[in-house]
Amino acid sequence: MRIATWNVNSIRTRVGRVIDWLVSEDVDVLALQEIKCKENQFPFEVFQEAGYEVVLHGLSQWNGVAIASRLPIEDVSVGFDSAPGFGKTDDAGRLPQEARAIGATVNGVRLWSLYVPNGRDLADPHYDYKLRWLANLAEETAGWLAAEPELPLALMGDFNIAPFDHDVWDIGAFSGRTHVSRPERDAFVTFETLGLVDALRSRNVSGYTYWDYQQMRFPRDEGMRIDFILGSNAFDELVSSAHIDRDQRKGDSPSDHVPVVVDLDLELGDDDDRPMIF
């Protein structure tokens, strides 16, 4: 079973590219981030023609997450219960929610597609929001692991954190900026403390997952490693291989992120039940 995560930076802009990649790379499940559309704007038909079912959480032209699968999708969770809001309060004093998390179970594996808030600047309210969002997600994750310790579970997506200095091309260029601050890195470590394993780093897979469009960052390989698949022990035991598909940053109209991919040593059941793709 092959699963992947990819911040596509607008699915309507890159739907052809995403579908071509899904089919050519034989991907069973894809977690998408930054789909940048509402449900009524998502190109469901194109995915369906390729044999994929899609569930999503999209509220506006910003953010947005989804899971596409050619295997049955079960037990969908739109957001997590304690996710904080951000922005201006409504008449009831509530902060609006953003579309940053969706969970689903596929073939007995619990998967979350996550788009962690950017943080913007260390002095920006969005930075505090980011830390609250991560802390609440960690609490939820601890509960999920305690309730079903044998369930393969993975948090997948754009974490907007570079956990180590070598996860950016030049740590000096990030002095006083988000993504590398100690509180953000500590928040990332919390997930590992809970028992989650970085499926790629633990297998010595190196490389960046994001390059800004500006200043020739990709040709110069001035990138960042901010996209991850963090799995429970039950999940990690199933991982047979892992890689970063750097080539997807090349060519026409690429996303500024690339897919992160893992293969699970997991039977898919009766192949006759899977969609035929010609």
Helix (H, G, I), strand (E, B) or coil at 248: helix
Q: Which residue has the tokens 């509180």?
A: 183
Return the domain boundaries, the chain. 2-271
Helix (H, G, I), strand (E, B) or coil at 126: helix
Cα separation, 24 vs 113, whole angstroms: 22
pLDDT by residue for the chain (278 residues), tens only, comes to 999 999 999 999 999 999 999 999 999 999 999 999 999 999 999 999 999 999 999 998 889 999 999 999 999 999 999 999 998 888 888 898 999 999 999 999 999 999 999 999 999 999 999 999 999 999 999 999 999 999 999 999 999 999 999 999 999 999 999 999 999 999 999 999 999 999 999 999 999 999 999 999 999 999 999 999 999 999 999 999 999 999 999 999 999 999 999 999 998 865 444 544 43
| Tokens standing for residue 124 | 């920006």
Helix (H, G, I), strand (E, B) or coil at 230: strand
What is residue 275's DSSP assignment? Answer: P
Cα separation, 70 vs 161, whole angstroms: 30
| Contact predicate 140/158, CB 8 Å | no
| Tokens standing for residue 105 | 């179970």
pTM: 0.95
190: how many CB neighbours lie within 10 A of its CB? Answer: 17
Q: Who's near 251: CB < 8 A, 6+ residues apart? A: 17
Cα separation, 61 vs 174, whole angstroms: 28
Q: What is the pLDDT of residue 89?
A: 86
Q: What is the pLDDT of residue 9?
A: 98
Phi, psi of 193 (to 5 degrees): -65, -35
Q: Which fold has domain 2-271?
A: Deoxyribonuclease I; Chain A (3.60.10)
